[in-house]
Amino acid sequence: MTSPLCPVCGSSLGIGSSKPFPTLSCAQCGWDWGAVLRRDSPTRRGADAAFLKQLPSGAEAQYIFPKAFQVPAPRQLVWTRRMTGAVIALLATACFFAWTAMARASTGETFVPAVLMVLSGWLTLMLSIPLITQWSNRTLLCSGDVTAGRVIHEAIVPRGRQTYSVIFYAFADAAGRGFIGRGTDYSGTLAVGAPIVVYYDASNPAENVAAECTTFELRAS
Ligand SMILES: [Zn+2]
């Protein structure tokens, strides 16, 4: 497996870890994935030629992802089953809360409605946590710039008894500067070399998300 390349100097990147997540850094020029995210890394130069060469060309990107580049911003999100489930669970929690309060005022038998309230409250949390933690991705998906990148590194990270795939992907912004994004592959389908669609903040491309790395979905047209 080839090592991921530094966006600035094209050297092979070192793979480290800031638990539990893997991270990348360049021993040659000092580029560091975490430092770029904190905006204290000097990456304001053009990208390295070898780094850019690994990215899908414009024509290749149009061919692989014809729809991704056609939908003009602001793009619309798909209303997913998770969102419907979260709303229903929240409404149920409110109903059970009201039932508990009424039972307390009249019969005093609050056990059943209180248990139902806790269960539906728990379900609401489980369904909405991935939506809330990814709230910032909505803006990127809807109004960020879009480009094609490529998966350059994959790491399997343990979480409890399960594992999940963390990917790093290379992309360039409209000005030709190279960036590396990191995310969880929710699709479970990506591997090193896979082309992907990346949405990024044009004013700070270190803020970016790949289409497979979010639980939000964009409408195709
Ligand atoms: Zn470097």
Q: What is the pLDDT of residues 3-21, one digit of tens each?
A: 899 999 999 999 998 877 8
As a whole number of angstroms, the distance between CA 2 and CA 151 comes to 12
Same domain for 160 and 59:
yes
Of 143, 139, 99, the C-alpha closest to 119 is 99
**Residue 1 domain-assigned (yes or no):** no
Centre of ligand 1 to C-alpha 43, Å, is 10
The pair of structure tokens assigned to 51 is 């780094």
Centre of ligand 1 to C-alpha 31, Å, is 5
Would you state the pLDDT for residue 112? 94
CB atoms within 10 A of CB 66: 9
Centre of ligand 1 to C-alpha 5, Å, is 8
**Residue 6 domain-assigned (yes or no):** no
**Residue 25 domain-assigned (yes or no):** yes
Q: Could you report how far apart the first and last alpha carbons of the chain are, in Å?
A: 37
Centre of ligand 1 to C-alpha 38, Å, is 17
Centre of ligand 1 to C-alpha 30, Å, is 6
Same domain for 131 and 169:
no
Centre of ligand 1 to C-alpha 1, Å, is 19
Q: Where are the alpha helices (DSSP H) in 24-80?
A: 33-37, 49-53, 58-64
> What is the tens place of the pLDDT at every residue in 182-197?
999 999 999 999 999 9
**Count of domains observed in the chain:** 2
Q: What are phi and psi of 77, to 5 degrees?
A: -85, 150
As a whole number of angstroms, the distance between CA 100 and CA 3 comes to 59
Would you state the pLDDT for residue 42? 57
Same domain for 152 and 67:
yes
**Residue 124 domain-assigned (yes or no):** yes
pTM recorded for the entire structure: 0.85
What is the extent of the structural domain holding 98? Answer: 81-135
Centre of ligand 1 to C-alpha 152, Å, is 15
Same domain for 201 and 171:
yes
Centre of ligand 1 to C-alpha 20, Å, is 24
Would you state the pLDDT for residue 44? 58
Centre of ligand 1 to C-alpha 7, Å, is 7
Same domain for 21 and 64:
yes
In the chain, which residues have pLDDT < 50?
Answer: none
Same domain for 34 and 93:
no
Same domain for 209 and 102:
no
**Residue 40 domain-assigned (yes or no):** yes
Same domain for 192 and 163:
yes
As a whole number of angstroms, the distance between CA 49 and CA 68 comes to 25
Centre of ligand 1 to C-alpha 176, Å, is 16
Same domain for 148 and 68:
yes
Centre of ligand 1 to C-alpha 41, Å, is 11
